[in-house]
Amino acid sequence: MATSIAILGSSGYAGGELIRLVDGHPDLNVGYLGAFSTAGKTLGSVHPHLRDGHRILGANDPEVVPDVGLAFLALPHGASSVPAMALLDRGIPVVDLGSDFRLDTPQRYLNAYGDDHPYPDQLGHWVYGLPERHRSEISGTDRVASPGCYPTSTILPLAPLLAAGLVEPTRIIVDSMSGVSGAGRGVQAGLQFGAVDESAKAYKILEHRHQPEMERALDLESASPVELIFTPHLVPMQRGILTTIYAQTVTGTTLDDVVAALEHVYQDEPFVSLVAGSPETRWVTGSNRALISVNLDERTGTAVIICAIDNLVKGAAGQAVQAANLMLGLDETSGLPMEGWMP
């Protein structure tokens, strides 16, 4: 019998993807949809592309959530903590797609976000929800902090190389480009068609909050602390992240070594594959897959590693469902698209 789940924050892009995936999931069904300003409206008025549009959105209020088997929170930064703790108190496991519980110490949180965490004791007790690196911990917890989109595209290729000691942990360059849906569905001048179409730019240079998230997650893989320089870019497309990473290899490392380390880790993973050349983001649009390619500049010993994901699927809703599958004892791939759409 299918497990009923709740989604708080259903009106955004990640919320819409969660509904799409859960509606198509053989073992889950939607038991509650919460929203802020669109509470009381129909699903169809918010997400006209989804089925059963007559469903009514409720409030983003943990008190009115029915007794579901799990709750996904797709809320803005800072808005997850209170409902998450309330739901956990009621015995409802939580997958938080926001950033509230991704860091591990109050100090790191303060550094990254500029204020104190409301539940500092919780930090470090949430499992970072990247199944390919933390599968068994996810299976055994009731609280998962689902990774950010940029971190997913960065940690998947880098973690095995750091763990194997093949690349230096310092001065790693992470240069990413993202489609516009990564900025969410809120109405902003900078996200108008006239501002985004036919243009590219960097933003939040050296100050994006995904950088400490990446470092914290990669510190778990590395013998010594990881130092990343991260530049996110906005490019005129709806979905997709392409991340290009430049890491200094340890002396004597060959391209074959790098490939072998990634193949060893990912050969049996359903959602991560190595490809030759450069992956294109459209190859994974709509799917939960991550594609990685590796190159080595022999002259300087620099590994040039590229990773493509769909920021709303493997970078958000798909990865959250993958974690939920593990938490609920389901097949990890259940309900998750292996194939995307093109064009």
Map the footprint of a copy of itself across residues 176-195, applying CB under 8 A. Answer: 177, 179-181, 185, 187-189, 191-195
CA distance 63 to 328: 22
Phi, then psi, of 270 in degrees rounded to 5: -70, -25
Q: Which one-letter DSSP state was computed for residue 315?
A: I
Q: Residue from 29, 139, 295, 334 that binds a copy of itself (CB under 8 A)?
A: 295
Q: Residue from 67, 256, 331, 339 that binds a copy of itself (CB under 8 A)?
A: 339
Choose the stretch contacting a copy of itself; rule: CB under 8 A; options: 64-72, 102-110, 118-126, 290-298: 290-298
Choose the stretch contacting a copy of itself; rule: CB under 8 A; options: 30-38, 66-74, 87-95, 169-177: 169-177
From the candidates 149, 155, 172, 242, give the one annotated as an active-site residue. Answer: 149
Burial of 191 (0-12, 13-18, 19+ CB in 10 A): middle
CA distance 237 to 168: 33
CA distance 62 to 58: 11
Which is closer to a copy of itself, CB of 84 or CB of 284?
284
Choose the stretch contacting a copy of itself; rule: CB under 8 A; options: 13-21, 58-66, 83-91, 321-329: 13-21
271: tokens are: 């959602």
Q: Residue from 76, 244, 328, 334 that binds a copy of itself (CB under 8 A)?
A: 244
Q: How far is the CB of 239 from a copy of itself (least distance, A)?
A: 7
Which is closer to a copy of itself, CB of 107 or CB of 278?
278
Quick check: is 149 catalytic? yes
Which is closer to a copy of itself, CB of 211 or CB of 325?
211
29: tokens are: 């069904």
Q: What x/- string results for residues 20 through 39 when contact with a copy of itself is judged by CB under 8 A? A: x--xx---------------
9, β-bridge pairs: none
- In terms of DSSP bridges, do strands 302-309 and 290-297 run parallel, antiparallel, or are they unpaired? antiparallel
Which is closer to a copy of itself, CB of 1 or CB of 276?
276
Cβ(129)–Cβ(145) below 8 Å: yes
- 281 interacts with a copy of itself by CB under 8 A: yes
Residue 201 CB contacts under 8 Å (≥ 6 apart), including other chains: 233, 234
- 54 interacts with a copy of itself by CB under 8 A: no
Q: Residue from 104, 239, 318, 323 that binds a copy of itself (CB under 8 A)?
A: 239
CA distance 237 to 142: 35
Task: Name which of residues 199 to 238 contact a copy of itself (CB under 8 A).
Answer: 199-203, 205-206, 227, 229, 231, 233, 235-238
Residue 50 CB contacts under 8 Å (≥ 6 apart), including other chains: 16, 19, 20, 23, 43, 44
- 302 interacts with a copy of itself by CB under 8 A: yes
Q: Which residues are catalytic?
A: 149
